[in-house]
C-alpha cells in the first residue's frame, strides 16, 4: 500500500492543525515530524512538546524522524508525547540494536534511517528488528532540496534484501519527493513517501496531496 507521510516541516506553523487537516483530506495517512537538534544536522526544528501539541488534533500515526545525537535520551519523551513511529539514524547510534529495542519497549514502531553516503549493507544486522527503513534521498537538515538519483538503486536494493531475507519491513523515502520523482521511487519499491514542499501550499494542500498520491499509485 502506497502511503503519503506528509512532512509538517513545510507547513504553516501558525495554522498547523488546519494544515494537517487539509493534507489528511487529500489522502495523507501519516504525519511526518522531522526532529533536528542543530548538532547531527545543521538545523533546529521540533521536539516532544510539538508532538504532544499535534497529538490531540489528528488520529493519524505520528512518524518522528530523529536527526539528533544521543537519541536514546529522548525516546521516552517522544513516547510520552504520543509518537507512534520513531526512526533513528544509523550514523548517530553507537548501539543500534539497543536503540531500536528501546523504541519498541516504549510501544512505538522502530525505524532505521540511512543518509545518502551510508551503504545499505550497514543495516544488514538490524533489518529483522525494524518496521521501516527510511532512505534519505537528500542530505538531511533542510526541506526543499533536490532529489539524489542514486537513491532509486538504494531503494531497489532494500526491496531485494526484503525478498531474499523473507522480511516485511516497509521502505520509506524522504527528500526531494515530488510529482516528477515519485514514480521512480515507487517503481523501485518505496511504499511510505515523505513529502513536504510538494504538498503544503496555500489554498492547494488538499489538491496537491490528492494529485501526488494519484501519480504514486499509478506507478505501483
Give buried/exposed letters for 142-177 (b at 16+ CB in 10 A, else e): ebeeebbeebbebbbbbeebbeeeeeebbbbbbbbb
Rounded Cα distance, 212 and 97, in Å: 35
**Residue of 34, 37, 63, 84 marked active site:** 34
Apex 198 CA angle, 193 and 203, nearest 5: 125
Residues 182, 215 contacting (CB under 8 angstroms): yes
Q: How far separated are the first and last CA of the chain, in Å rounded? A: 9
Cell readout for 130 is 525494524
Residue 34 annotated in active site: yes
Element (H, E) at 34: strand 30-36
Residue 211 annotated in active site: no
Residues 106, 129 contacting (CB under 8 angstroms): no
**Residue of 37, 63, 84, 174 marked active site:** 174
Residue 35: closest CA among 3, 75, 4, 2: 75
Rounded Cα distance, 148 and 136, in Å: 9
Element (H, E) at 65: strand 62-67
Catalytic residues: 34, 174
Amino acid at each position: 500500500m502506497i502511503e503519503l507521510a506528509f512532512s509538517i516541516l513545510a507547513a504553516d506553523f501558525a495554522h498547523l492543525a488546519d494544515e494537517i487537516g487539509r493534507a489528511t483530506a487529500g489522502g495523507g495517512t501519516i504525519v511526518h515530524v522531522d526532529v533536528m537538534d542543530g548538532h547531527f544536522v545543521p538545523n533546529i526544528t521540533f521536539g516532544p512538546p510539538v508532538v504532544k501539541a499535534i497529538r490531540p488534533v489528528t488520529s493519524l500515526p505520528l512518524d518522528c524522524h530523529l536527526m539528533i545525537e544521543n537519541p536514546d535520551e529522548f525516546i521516552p519523551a517522544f513516547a510520552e508525547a504520543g509518537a507512534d513511529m520513531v526512526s533513528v539514524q544509523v550514523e548517530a547510534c553507537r548501539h543500534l540494536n539497543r536503540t531500536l529495542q528501546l523504541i519498541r519497549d516504549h510501544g512505538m514502531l522502530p525505524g532505521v534511517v540511512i543518509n545518502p553516503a551510508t551503504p545499505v549493507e550497514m543495516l544488514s544486522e538490524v533489518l529483522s528488528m525494524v518496521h521501516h527503513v527510511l532512505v534519505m534521498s537528500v542530505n538531511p537538515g533542510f526541506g526543499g532540496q533536490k532529489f539524489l538519483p542514486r537513491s532509486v538503486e538504494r531503494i531497489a536494493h532494500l526491496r531485494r534484501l526484503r525478498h531474499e531475507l523473507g522480511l516485511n519491513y516497509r521502505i520509506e523515502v524522504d527528500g526531494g519527493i515530488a510529482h516528477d520523482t515519485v514514480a521512480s521511487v515507487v517503481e523501485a519499491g518505496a511504499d511510505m513517501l515523505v513529502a513536504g514542499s510538494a504538498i503544503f501550499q496555500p489554498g492547494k494542500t488538499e489538491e496537491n496531496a490528492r494529485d501526488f498520491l494519484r501519480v504514486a499509485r499509478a506507478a505501483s
